[in-house]
Structure 1
């Protein structure tokens, strides 16, 4: 299945996406969601992933939309296996 372009809008619920955050300490966090705005807010308020708590400020580096949760989960697994220097390139390539 083809994914949406990295710059495809993901506003509100319904579209699954993989996203990459940069934490205040320079580390990166990857995750999936079907509501990017709400998930980013949860991370910023300390209600997101345990890893991002206390590591603010957080900055969205990239995102890519997927048609369903299964496709987004597979993409997240692939992304997390990449070394850090190749993670941003993951979002530049059509999968």
Structure 2
């Protein structure tokens, strides 16, 4: 499960699928976008990203499920 910050989700997803961008996604190509969330400013977005990355896999799945996402 990859988490990242961007101002253009579709552009960033296409970059990752092309093997460009984050080091992790160069060898783990993304299959689909599970969830996006908009923020008022970059600081809030990056803070939320950091907090999400601190969660365990189970906690991440629980969070996504609570927002209507079917996560595996």
Indicate the TM-score class for this superposition, using the shorter chain for normalisation.
0.7 to 0.9
1:61 Cα deviation from its structure 2 partner:
1.3
* Structure with the higher fraction of residues in strand conformation: 1
**1:33 alignment counterpart:** 6
- If each structure's helix is expressed as a fraction of its own residues, which one has the higher value? 2
User: How many positions carry a matched residue from both structures?
Assistant: 65
Structure of higher RCO (CA pairs closer than 8 Å, 6+ residues apart):
1
Work out the CA distance in 2 between the residues paired with 1:61 and 1:42.
Answer: 17
4+ residue runs of structure 1 moved beyond 6 angstroms?
none
Larger CA deviation: 77-86 vs 53-62: 53-62
Q: Which runs of 5+ in 1 are unaligned?
A: 1-27
After superposition, what is the alpha-carbon deviation per residue over 1:5-63, rounded to whole angstroms, capped at 9, x for unaligned? xxxxxxxxxxxxxxxxxxxxxxx111010110110011001112010112225221111
1:78 to 46, 51, 61: 51
Q: Do the aligned partners of 2:16 and 2:30 also contact (CA within 8 Å) in 1? A: no
